[in-house]
Amino acid sequence: MIKCVLPVLEMSCAVCANNVETTVKKLPGVLSATVNFASENLVLTYDPSAITLEEIAAAVEAAGYGLVISEEEKEKQREAAATRHYKSLRNRVVVAWIFALPLMTISMGCMHTPHIEWLLLLLTLPILLYSGRDFYIHAWKQLQQHSANMDTLVALSTGVAFLFSLAMTLFPQYWNSRGIETHVYYEASGMIIAFVLIGKLMEERAKRNTSSALKSLMNLQPQTALKITEEGPQEVHIATLKRGDRILVRPGEKVAVDGVVVHGESFVDESMINGEPIPAGKAQGDSVLAGTINRDGALTIEAQAVGAQTLLAQIVRQVQEAQGSKAPAQRLADRVSRRFVPTIIILACLTFAGWQCFYSGDNVLAHSLLTAVSVLVIACPCALGLATPTALMVGIGKAAGEHILIKDAVALEKMGQIDCMVLDKTGTLTQGRPEVVDVVWLQPEEQYAAPLVVAEEQSQHPLAKAIAKHWESHAATRSVTIDRYENVSGKGIEFEIQGETLRIGNRTFMTASSIGSDTETRIATWQSEGKSIVFYGNHKGIIAIIAIADKIKESSHEAVARLQQLGIEVYMLTGDDSPTARTVAGAVGISRFKANALPQDKEDFVRTLQGEGKTVAMVGDGINDSQALARADVSIAMGQGTDIAMQVAMVTLMNSDLNLLTRAVVLSRSTMRIVRENLFWAFIYNVVCIPVAAGVLFPVNGWLLNPMWASAAMAFSSVSVVLNSLRLKWK
């Protein structure tokens, strides 16, 4: 199966998105298809042995829409199509209002002037034939597919009003002889199209803002790179690069590929990927990522991943898929949208028939027509279709900008519902790497630090690496040579330098272990705090005692406190022993924890909490957390953890700052509140406005809704939903 994100062209409303989705889902070999009207994307999973992208594109085209399938030109074609559409829409809006304003003015002020209807006809024709032609073309295509959308409603309403007026204009004697006053409604046809078009233009401008975060991510990738060839560096397009190519990155330039430094030293700003503000030093053998910025010296990089395989491309793809996915809250809106247009057409017909049957005043035909047209116009499902996807697009895009990658809309919705969060200790609450935190020297440090570093550099033990790193800057290490080196299993290492035998390991491995009472007290304190103790000695006795611990992240205590303020219970799981677990939990403000937890124990712990009716989020960074991550309602991986944890997780934090957890929760709650507001107002709008358009107020105060104001209200409803969603950008 292949999963991809493809741009869809020529959609005009949420019903169009449903039509494309239904069309693609019916095709053999398609496992799943989701169309997001706001992002204009199709998220597709299909079997390439059963169907090709060309066949899928042909089916979509037959339904009256377009599908971009070229991977290399996908974004370029989408941008070009969007630019063409926007310019065309803008031109049609200008023409529509040039003719609509005099049309409305004349119809309101000079309606009883003899033969004025011919001038109104001339003013209306350019609006219908140029500005509104796409409504009729798309409506005809939908009819051929036995479907309907917003274009159908606009085409029906304006077409009926225009044809009625045309009949009144061409055959006035026929209507007068039957006691019907000849009254034309050209201004209704023209103004409906003008208002709908300006609403769509405003909607397009607002929708562009909803995807600005994704565009910012895309813009991180440079389009060209300096490839090193036999003739020297040559500027090439990144699409031509292959794994193994060597790239020159000069100071101030962006890195074009994921690769390894083979020559040069520099500092690279990686904040756009992981949010870390301090540039990372890079030298030969270090990895670099596409989209990061080289600050100082020139670097020669050997490409390891190019194009769609880079981490940046994967992040962009994940954000696209997430923005194109659907939250459970959208299902009701989708079900309503699918049946909405046929229902509105039926309601318009019933409105027309009701006026014909129960109204006995003058111009019953005109009243019937106006109310039916108003119902068709005001009931556009755009606001309903935009309510959820626009908020999700902004929310997921904003999360990406905050270095929080959300896999899909379900994760975004569930994130705000959690009432219990389980945190792994190592690599989540702590740095995930042991460091020397304290040391007591009983013999001269200047004499014995260098042998300690040289010996530990040859050991593979993780504590040895921490010791070697702590004293790596000791200048004398280069002049020390080890004559004998022996690894004693379960105890430590023994080595000889210039005839002196030295040992590093546990206390029982030391030749003599007597030390002062003050030092014994410090050792007991370290052990109670869960720190690992390493002894360093010679034939005279103990040289140094080293305390090693996995440091707690600076953000851990603050993040835990904020989560608790949000009403979320916080637990800690660790494979370490109880003293270490108790120390770390107490330091970060967690009262409930479980120590000595194996991977299965972690999963069982999450299952137990779920059995108590809690909605559980699990945060981890290692393979040992993957079972618990898969079991949790929301799984969150630390971006600096293992790939398997990130693959299982629904949410990935791209840096080590645990405060991103609270940001993710707050953003989820804000997004879903906006979704509920949008859905409420979209439903209420139709519930209130359709009866008003049908004329329920006429028996009370004699007021009927003019179709042109119905079209203005419809346009405003769609724009207001998008603008409400955009409020998330400034939260």
At residue 92's C-alpha, the angle toward residues 87 and 98, to 5°, is: 130
Alpha carbons 186 and 461: distance in angstroms, whole number: 86
* Cβ(582)–Cβ(473) below 8 Å: no
Q: What is the pLDDT of residue 157?
A: 79
Which domains can be identified in the chain, with CATH numbers?
Answer: 2-71 (3.30.70.100), 81-212+320-393+673-730 (no CATH), 222-307 (2.70.150.10), 403-430+554-664 (3.40.50.1000), 431-552 (3.40.1110.10)
Separation between Cα atoms, residue 322 and residue 314, nearest integer Å: 12
Q: Say how many CA atoms lie within 13 Å of 181 toward its Cβ.
A: 10
**The pair of three-digit structure tokens given for residue 381, joined into one six-digit string:** 């499902």
Q: Are 652 and 664 in contact (CB under 8 A)?
A: no
Whole-number pLDDT of residue 642:
43
Question: In the prediction, which pLDDT does 609 show?
Answer: 94
Token digits for 431? 């740095």
Name 552's bridge partners. 430
Predicted local distance difference test score (pLDDT) of residue 175: 67
Q: How high is the pLDDT of residue 530?
A: 72
User: CB neighbours (10 Å) of residue 330?
Assistant: 24
DSSP string, 60-85: HHHTT-EE---TTTHHHHHHHHHHHH
Express each pLDDT in 667-717 by its tens digit: 999 998 998 888 888 778 777 888 888 888 888 877 777 776 776 777 777
| Amino acid 495: pLDDT | 92
Contact 291, 312 (CB under 8 A): yes
pLDDT value at position 641? 47
Please tell me which residue in 151, 408, 424, 550 is annotated as part of the active site.
424
Residue ranges of the chain with per-residue pLDDT less than 50: 475, 641-642, 645
pLDDT given at position 369: 80
pTM for the model: 0.66
Angle at 587 between CA 583 and CA 592, to 5 degrees: 70
DSSP state of 435: E
DSSP code for 598: -
518 is catalytic: no
**What H or E segment, with its residue span, contains residue 205?**
helix 186-210
d(Cα 189, Cα 161) in Å, to the nearest integer? 6
Amino acid at position 328, single letter? P
Rounded Cα gap, residues 534 and 549, in angstroms: 11
